[in-house]
Amino acid sequence: MKSIVVMPSGKRDPGRTLHRFAKPGRFLRQSGAALPWLAVAGVAVTTLGLVWGLFFSPADWQQGDAVRIMYIHVPAAWLASAGYLALALCSFASLVWRHPLADLAATEIGPVGAGFTALCLGTGSLWGKPMWGAWWVWDARLTSVLVLFLLFVGYMALRAAIDDEAKAARAAAILALVGLVNLPIIYFSVDWWNSLHQGESIFTPGGPKIAPVFLIPLGLMAVGYLFAFAALWLERTRAEVWRRRAQSLAVQAAQG
């Protein structure tokens, strides 16, 4: 029977519980089983949502066909913010519990999160041109998302700039946690400041303000993006685990 680590108060020790999942072999086995399903689901659901949104959903009465950019732009914005939250949580676990796999996961989420944030900014510019008459405006929402992209890039640059792995992990984790302050700014920016960007129209107290004919393909795209994000993140993390194992074996062989 497996033992459970219990703290003096009778509660489980979260640090010890997390370290149960830090073994590279266990992680590779479990992630290897999940990765093909995530990848296939990501491609299939994203393709379904994209085809539905681009070819079968109607044009908007005000925006016309330009509204179809929404199906690519909005889920990318959601995943950009969610990805940074995951980065911060992994960084917190790395700082507090010295969880090695959490630090590795935080490192590998940076490029994926930056990619989705860049997609959000790029499609936002494409959408802004016909709606606002400009590719870019220094709007509060746009500026805060640009800051989010710079935080992802800054995290990756800081990791690469410090040779000492432990110091690099600690400095980058602190940066990731400090950057959390930008997430509520992104979400509430349209309420706190005058903004060209439209306000919240889905997660509202009275329910979504978007018609189901638009909401269904948008939801499919969001789910597809989520699966794709998870698959890319897992694949990068697995590749780094294999690289470090190979490096460790090479060092042992050289010493032996």
What pLDDT band is residue 203 in, cutting at 50, 70 and 90?
confident
DSSP notation for 168-181: HHHHHHHHHHHGGG
What pLDDT band is residue 192 in, cutting at 50, 70 and 90?
confident
DSSP 53: I
Q: Is the pLDDT of residue 196 over 80?
A: no
CB 63 within 8 A of CB 131: yes
Q: How many residues does the chain have?
A: 256
* Predicted local distance difference test score (pLDDT) of residue 93: 92
- For 129-152, what is each residue's pLDDT tens digit? 888 888 888 888 999 999 999 999
Tokens representing 76 are 């990318």
Average pLDDT rounded to a whole number, residues 52-72: 90
Tokens representing 116 are 């989705």
Angle at the Cα of 89 from the Cα atoms of 84 and 93, rounded to 5 degrees: 145
CA atoms within 13 A on the CB side of 202: 12
* Predicted local distance difference test score (pLDDT) of residue 5: 40
Lowest mean pLDDT among 111-115, 125-129, 148-152: 125-129
- For 79-110, what is each residue's pLDDT tens digit? 999 999 999 999 999 898 887 788 899 999 99
CA atoms within 13 A on the CB side of 54: 10
Of residues 11 and 197, the one with the higher pLDDT is: 197
Average pLDDT rounded to a whole number, residues 183-195: 86
CB 87 within 8 A of CB 110: yes
* Predicted local distance difference test score (pLDDT) of residue 39: 96
* Predicted local distance difference test score (pLDDT) of residue 256: 67
What pLDDT band is residue 22 in, cutting at 50, 70 and 90?
low
Of residues 162 and 211, the one with the higher pLDDT is: 162
Q: Is the pLDDT of residue 15 over 80?
A: no
3-state secondary structure of 141: helix
* Predicted local distance difference test score (pLDDT) of residue 3: 39
Lowest mean pLDDT among 56-60, 121-125, 141-145, 250-254: 250-254
Q: Please tell me the pTM assigned to this model.
A: 0.86
Cα torsion angle, 29, 104, 220, 208, sign: positive
Sequence spans of domains, the chain: 41-238
CA dist., res. 179 & res. 150, Å (int): 10
Over pLDDT 90: what percentage of the chain? Answer: 55
Q: Is the pLDDT of residue 6 over 60?
A: no
